[in-house]
Homo-oligomer: A and B are copies of this chain.
Amino acid sequence: MTATVDHYTETQRGALLETLRAFLRIPSISTLPEHRPDVDRAAEFVASELRQAGLARVHLIEGEGNPLVYGERIEAPGKPTVLCYGHYDVQPPDPLDEWKSPPFEPAIRGEDIFARGAADDKGQTLILIKAVEALVQLRGRLPVNVKFLIEGEEEVGGGHIEKHIREKGRSLGADAALICDTEMFAPGLPSLCIGLRGIVYTEVEVTGARQDLHSGVYGGVAPNPLLDLARILNGLKDAGGRILIPGFYDRVRPPDTAELDAWARLPFDEERYKRDEVGVEELTGEAGFSVFDRTWARPTLEVHGIRGGFTGDGAKTVIPARATAKVSMRLVADMDPAEAFEQFRRHVERITPRGVRSRVTLLAASGPSKVDPANGFVRAAAAALTEVFGVPTVYIRSGGSIPIVGLFAEHARIPSVLMGFGLPDDNLHAPNEKLHLPNFFRGIVAVARYLELLGE
């Protein structure tokens, strides 16, 4: 059967690629309101693909925010129901001038397809749909029951699906979730992600004088919100990478010995990672912690952008009246987003220099999560991946945040299987995002095999 799905992806290669390209051409950037029509087009595209895959009851769930796309195929009584999750929205493509080909004109170079959303998450969402389509086409029926719930706000906090899952709770009617939105540890190495960091994303605003001022006339007496914002940012994390917010590390749970042992066995060349993947002369972060610790098991704090004053070409001698910074923190088990935000807010208040006022706004939050590798769904997924890729599956974590995992656990009471087909150099959220095409095709085979194993 595996061979058959394998063969199916071979023969359908051209059509599969054409569908992927069409999906990637839609600039469904959820954070930019002017792209709302594209977001809607992407939702319709997913619905149409679900119908073609043989799913029933395909419809858009409208509500506040972007539509959810639902579909199901319930025809295996007594068998588990798998809830397939993905997202059709993407990150903004800027800075545009660093893309080698336009972000919404998919270009194949070598074995990779380059476009915003290629790996995160349109390509991987399509893996789920096409695996089901392959089984339906080849067998006429599915070995398990499936439901699809594809959202369009993953990159902006996922408000709509959160509300939906909170309301539905256990009546979502599934036994496990299947999510393809993570990455393999290395090319050819099948990986299951069993831990995710949470996030608290904030905006810090600093205000000084009533209006912008001339730096010649008022330099020396007027507060400078940009400088004071820099002072605040400087007070958030020390030069060694340690976050200075009181109490911030109190709930951090270190990885257990078994996990640390497994990490030690992962094929990892720190020198190559530093040079080729991150692209730096020197890795930074907390002394005494490994790269896996620092990216998977330690909380972090980053600044994503600073706005205020004059940033055009040339010189403008302005002292701006206000400045803002986007600041996020990644959380690890057992940190609580609400508590972390409150600690952050109080700390910013405490270190705000005299002469300016500061205000902290919460833009998005989700908790960290950890799934149990002994769970039957996780074990079946590992078996399917091992079979299709021909090498043992490894258990890893991801430093990123997939809030849906926590929502599924808390409200629907189901575990999530994170079967990722991205690669570490896929440039997520950056220029030249790509998907490795062999992973796209093998992903379809592996997901199909997983559903088969679950049905046995």
User: Are A284 and B222 CB-contacts (below 8 A) given A217-B428, A230-B233?
Assistant: yes
Contacts of A22 in B (CB 8 A): none
User: Are A280 and B223 CB-contacts (below 8 A) given A315-B326, A431-B211?
Assistant: yes
Query: Does A391 count as interface, using CB distance less than 8 angstroms?
Result: no
Q: In the bound complex, what is the Cα–Cα distance between A255 and B241 (angstroms)?
A: 45
Query: Does A354 count as interface, using CB distance less than 8 angstroms?
Result: yes
The 0/1 profile, CB within 8 Å of B marked 1, for residues 207-228 of chain A is 0111111111111111110110
Q: Are A95 and B280 in contact (CB under 8 A)?
A: no
Which residue of chain B lies nearest to A157 when distances are taken between CB atoms in the complex? B315
Q: Are A429 and B317 in contact (CB under 8 A)?
A: yes
The 0/1 profile, CB within 8 Å of B marked 1, for residues 298-336 of chain A is 101111111111111111111110011110101000000
Q: In the bound complex, what is the Cα–Cα distance between A291 and B430 (angstroms)?
A: 47
Contacts of A31 in B (CB 8 A): 312-316
**Which residues in chain A, 400-456, are within 8 Å of chain B measured between CB atoms?**
400-401, 424, 427-432
Q: Are B330 and A278 in contact (CB under 8 A)?
A: no
Contacting residue for A209 out of B199, B279, B311, CB 8 A:
B279
Query: Does A201 count as interface, using CB distance less than 8 angstroms?
Result: yes
Q: Are A156 and B311 in contact (CB under 8 A)?
A: no
Q: Are A353 and B239 in contact (CB under 8 A)?
A: yes
Query: Does A79 count as interface, using CB distance less than 8 angstroms?
Result: no
Contacts of A354 in B (CB 8 A): 282, 284
Query: Does A294 count as interface, using CB distance less than 8 angstroms?
Result: yes
Which residue of chain B lies nearest to A314 when distances are taken between CB atoms in the complex? B31
Query: Does A94 count as interface, using CB distance less than 8 angstroms?
Result: yes
Chain B's nearest CB lies how many Å from the CB of A410? Answer: 20
Query: Does A140 count as interface, using CB distance less than 8 angstroms?
Result: no
User: Are A399 and B241 CB-contacts (below 8 A) given A31-B314, A279-B209, A429-B317?
Assistant: no
Closest 8 CB pairs of A and B: A210-B279, A216-B400, A220-B294, A305-B309, A31-B314, A219-B300, A230-B233, A230-B230
| A→B interface (CB under 8 Å) | 31-33, 91-92, 94-95, 98, 155-157, 183, 197, 199, 201, 208-224, 226-227, 229-231, 233-234, 237, 239, 241, 278-286, 291, 294-295, 298, 300-320, 323-326, 328, 330, 353-355, 363-364, 398-401, 424, 427-432
